[in-house]
Structure 1
């Protein structure tokens, strides 16, 4: 006891074994057992389960889920007045990079169904300023916001 609080002393070997076990873990539920798996998952595209994005963080020995906070999130961004000729996946990817990292494109936008805006899902860092417009330049002579 330390005062009126129960106390234990963890043997160093047990702590080291636990650290070794978690070496290739992500924060969440699940464990990887080798560096190759970690690199494969960490270096890939954003993970999706249904319509939800699964965001990963690397595990650290001092991780505390009670205080873990992140400013990175995925948001739907509307591009109003964007001509239909720009509603191509590759073009939308380029435009979305002006805001953050493209995660996905709305199915109605991809199918070029009539709407007043293109809709893309972008991962952004809320700790940084968010632009309210993007300058799109085509070649030397054409540009628009």
Structure 2
């Protein structure tokens, strides 16, 4: 095992059989975290998540009771990634606060905060919470960096000639709402997306 920077580790194996067993039998757990592995390719860039996927546990809080079966849970989870495993207590009657599913997500894509589901009792919005994702940007919704180093913040400002202030053209995801007293900033992403 060799550290290649940016929290990436390159693993080499003596046989192809060992490689196949490691890649196909995962996900692996190290200190309580899911550890995802992919085959190395020449296009790999440690500064990018392009083409990289990882197993992540998601929670579906306040899921309607009529959705608590394998087919419905797999259908909803597939909107977030490729379902891999259900948590062992998912179908126990005493555990209906949330459903917990391991899905393989594409790390280069913006994380979803929820999905619209067509259910037998009508359409509803199902929120999602992600477990143990350390670096998540609350501005763009992508994994691997925080707001202070978000690529959306790197822009050429347009100078307002009257007051000398710069205008950030990339700030369309943040809305100001007035409650009659002071403006309240409302953003799509925040700590509520984490477990």
Paired residues, number? 110
- Contact 1:76-1:121 at 8 Å conserved across structures: yes
Looking at structure 2, the residues matched to 143 and 87 of structure 1 have their Cα atoms a distance apart, in angstroms, of 16
Which one of 26, 34, 41 corresponds to residue 47 of structure 1? 26
2:11 equivalent to 1:32: no
Which one of 106, 116, 126 corresponds to residue 107 of structure 2? 126
1:1-145 alignment, distance < 5 Å: 28-30=11-13, 31-32=15-16, 47-49=26-28, 55-60=36-41, 67=46, 70=49, 71-138=52-119, 142-145=122-125
RMSD: 3.5
More strand by share: 2
| Structure-2 change in CA distance of 1:90 and 1:29 (3 Å) | farther
* TM-score, with structure 2 as normaliser: 0.43
Q: Which runs of 4+ in 1 moved over 6 A?
A: 61-64
Question: Max radius of gyration: which structure?
Answer: 1
Q: Which runs of 5+ in 2 are unaligned?
A: 1-9, 126-195
Q: Which has the higher contact order (CA 8 A, sep 6+)?
A: 1
* TM-score, with structure 1 as normaliser: 0.55
Looking at structure 2, the residues matched to 52 and 102 of structure 1 have their Cα atoms a distance apart, in angstroms, of 17
Looking at structure 2, the residues matched to 92 and 130 of structure 1 have their Cα atoms a distance apart, in angstroms, of 18
| Secondary structure of the corresponding residue to residue 89 of structure 2 | helix
Looking at structure 2, the residues matched to 72 and 95 of structure 1 have their Cα atoms a distance apart, in angstroms, of 19
Structure 2 residue aligned with 1:4: none
More helix by share: 1
